[in-house]
């Protein structure tokens, strides 16, 4: 008896047992017990194998091999178990749980992409953000006067991993106008967490006795304050703005905790 060939739209009622193999999609020979023997139709709403009775919505225009678009779904959509132990689960909500590591070591892999806008998590074991970029530093004085930064020649970069932000910057001052008071480095790429205290020792190259001096960094919400280290165990001098002159160069690297 020849193998039966079911045409598109064939309805099979009741239970059926198939001895051998089944080829879905053409009348060719199946490679495995169940084979999808044709390429999917080039359609955003069609799948070669649909695990629901509803057409896809917004799929690939090139077509889909295996798809599903149930009207409602709760619990697990996919659950791989071995000896009564779940090794991989995909819930209807899209959460993927694996019992082993995620291996992205293959050539051409090794990348994990986060959304452009952080989806912040309160979970202490959840990595919810990674970002690299540049930022434009500016400086203000606590008492009076102004400091203008040469944004074209300055180079400020950051890397954010979770809530930790790593800053690396070269800042060149274009001009000043009688600056006095406490110096604040502004326009950080991310707002600091309240009470976070980054500490570092930038190198400042200027045209007066402050050349090469060490400074300490304290926290503000949108910037960091930079104070002169007295080097004697006394409180740092707060009038660091007076040390900044035209053509002052500042090299700085530090990390801080972002609010989210």
pLDDT tens, position by position, 222-235: 788 887 766 665 56
Q: What is the pLDDT of residues 43-76, one digit of tens each?
A: 999 888 888 889 999 889 999 989 999 999 999 9
Half-sphere exposure of 260 (CA within 13 A, CB side): 7
Q: Are 35 and 141 in a shared domain?
A: no
Mean pLDDT of 19-47: 80
Domain count, the chain: 3
Say yes or no: 136 and 24 in one domain: no
One domain for residues 146 and 247: yes
Domain assignment present for 122: no
Same domain assignment for residues 148 and 237: yes
Of residues 72 and 4, more confidently modeled: 72
Distance of CA 48 to the CA centre of its chain: 34
pLDDT at 1: 47
Mean pLDDT of 140-146: 94
Q: What is the DSSP string of the chain?
A: -PPP-PPTT----S----SS-EEESSSS--SSSEEE-SPPPS-TT-EEEESSSS--SS--TT-EEEE---S---SEEEEEEETTEEEEEEETTS-EEESS-----STT----PPPSS------TT----EEEEE---EEEESSEEEEEE-TTT-EEEEEEETTEEEEEEEEEEEEEEEEES-EEEE--SSPBPTT-------EEE-SSTTTT--EEEEE-SSSEEEEE--SSSSPPBS--GGG--TT-EEEEEEEEEB--
The answer to whether residues 241 and 195 belong to one domain is: yes
* Domain co-membership, 61 together with 144: no
On whether residue 109 sits in a domain, the answer given is: no
Beta carbons of 55 and 69 less than 8 angstroms apart: yes
pLDDT at 49: 86
Domain presence at residue 9: no
Tell me which residue range forms the domain holding 92: 75-99
- Looking at residue 212, its pLDDT comes to 43
Long-range pairs, 66-74, Cβ under 8 A, ≥24: 66/36
Are both 246 and 148 inside the same structural domain? yes
**Same domain? 175 vs 212:** yes
Q: First-to-last CA distance in the chain?
A: 69
pLDDT band at 206 (very low <50, low <70, confident <90, very high): low
Residues 184 and 215 in one domain: yes
Look at residue 1 and tell me if it is in a domain: no
- The 10s digit of each residue's pLDDT in 67-116 is 999 999 999 999 999 999 999 999 999 999 999 998 889 888 889 999 99
Please indicate, yes or no, whether residues 61 and 95 belong to a single structural domain of this protein.
Answer: no
For the cut 50, the answer to whether the pLDDT of residue 149 exceeds it is yes
Model pLDDT, residue 116 = 93
Query: Does some domain include residue 60?
Result: yes
Give the mean model confidence (pLDDT) for residues 206-221: 56
| Close Cβ partners of 253 (under 8 Å, ≥ 6 residues apart) | 166, 167, 168, 169, 200, 202
For residue 118, is it within any domain? Answer: no
| Residue 124 covered by a domain | no
């Amino acid at each position: 008896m020849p193998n039966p060939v079911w045409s598109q739209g064939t309805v099979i009622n009741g239970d059926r047992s198939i001895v051998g193999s089944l080829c879905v999609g053409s009348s060719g020979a199946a490679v495995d017990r169940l084979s999808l023997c044709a390429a999917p139709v080039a359609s955003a709403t069609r799948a070669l194998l649909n695990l629901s009775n509803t057409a896809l919505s917004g799929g690939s225009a090139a077509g889909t091999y295996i798809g599903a678009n149930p009207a409602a779904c709760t619990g697990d959509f996919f659950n791989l178990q071995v000896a009564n132990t779940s090794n991989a689960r995909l819930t209807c909500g899209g959460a993927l749980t694996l019992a082993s590591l995620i291996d992205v070591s293959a050539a051409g892999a090794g990348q994990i992409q986060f959304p452009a806008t952080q989806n912040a998590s309160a979970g202490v074991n959840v990595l919810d953000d990674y970002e690299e970029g540049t930022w434009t530093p500016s400086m203000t004085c606590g008492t009076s006067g102004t400091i203008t930064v040469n944004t074209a020649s300055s180079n400020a970069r950051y890397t954010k991993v979770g809530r930790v932000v790593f800053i690396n910057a070269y800042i060149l001052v274009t001009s000043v106008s009688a600056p006095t008071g406490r110096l604040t480095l502004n326009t950080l790429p991310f707002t600091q967490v309240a009470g976070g205290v980054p500490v570092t020792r930038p190198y400042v190259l200027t045209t007066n006795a402050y050349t090469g001096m060490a400074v300490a960094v304290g926290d503000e919400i949108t910037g960091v304050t930079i104070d002169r280290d007295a080097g004697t165990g006394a409180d740092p001098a707060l009038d660091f703005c007076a040390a900044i002159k035209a053509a002052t160069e500042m090299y700085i690297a530090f990390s801080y905790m972002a609010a989210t």
